[in-house]
Amino acid sequence: MAQALVYGFHAVLSRLRRDPASVLTLYAEAGRDDRRMRELLAAAETARVRVLRVERARLDGLTGGAVHQGVVAQVLPPSAKASLEEVLEGLTEPPLLLVLDGVQDPHNLGACFRVADAFGVHAIVAPKDRAVGLTPTVLKVASGAAETVPFVTVTNLARTLEALKARQVWIWGADPGGARLPSELPLEAGAAWVLGAEGRGLRRLTREGCDGLVRIPTRGQVESLNVAVAAGICLYETHMRRASGSGRS
């Protein structure tokens, strides 16, 4: 049975509350008895999760020295949809997808999960190769959002974008040189926001697969926004447009 690790108070407590059956064992730092630890242990008891009090060195070994705050949970990996087709078939509203073209920083992917959960994204789509997957760091930064937003990996991203177009999903690429603004798009329809990797942005084939390139207007001197920040801005615009029922084409 495949297993994974989740660590840090927020991430572990979120997993205990959202999906307690997936938590196999909780390792907690021996001797720590502050309010946060008591709250966590109470949640574990309610969920009937086995708790082992261990020395900090054991926790360091489990996480490879990552910041764990004294708590590590051995869990089943997040359940993922078998395919993007399965995600889309189950929807009763226009799709909203976040497509990440080769994001390799686990902190950025984790943050993208959080904004995706906040604004109703139906799935995050990423290539199988040359991109970060659901690592323990991603799960920690996601703070439970990796359990609520399906993560779909695909072999050929360009082909996936074409398949989405066939389903009447607009493909919008976020790019500093884009000709349009988020406020100018028909976001009430099915939409997939495509964001590129840190530094290099969208790959050529991915860029060519977009229906349009969209820029986020800024006033600062920094060349580009962090991918998770850019995703949050694009998804917020979509969320508010759909909530208000108004739009432009």
Q: Dump pLDDT digits (tens) for 156-167.
A: 999 999 999 999
| Average model confidence (pLDDT) across the chain | 89
Query: CATH 3.40.1280.10: which residues of the chain?
Result: 84-244
Supply the Cα-derived Rg of the chain in whole angstroms. 20
- pLDDT tens for each residue of 142-201: 888 888 899 999 999 999 999 999 999 999 999 988 999 998 999 999 999 999 987 778
- In the chain, CATH 3.30.1330.30 sits at 4-75
Which class would CATH give 84-244? alpha beta
Binding site annotation covers 225? yes
Q: Has residue 1 got a pLDDT over 60?
A: no
Q: Is the pLDDT of residue 44 over 90?
A: yes
- Residue 130 pLDDT grade (very low, low, confident, very high; cuts 50, 70, 90): confident
Q: CA–CA separation, 190 vs 199, rounded Å?
A: 28
What gap in Å lies between CA 175 and CA 126, rounded to an integer?
17
Provide the pLDDT for residue 247. Answer: 43
Quick one: average pLDDT of 123-128? 94
Quote the pLDDT of residue 103: 94
Select from 4, 77, 83, 11 the least CA-distant residue to 43.
11
pTM: 0.74
Lowest pLDDT segment from 181-190, 202-211, 240-249: 240-249
User: Percent of the chain beyond pLDDT 90?
Assistant: 63
120 is in an annotated binding site: no
Assign domain 4-75 to its CATH superfamily. Ribosomal protein L30/S12 (3.30.1330.30)
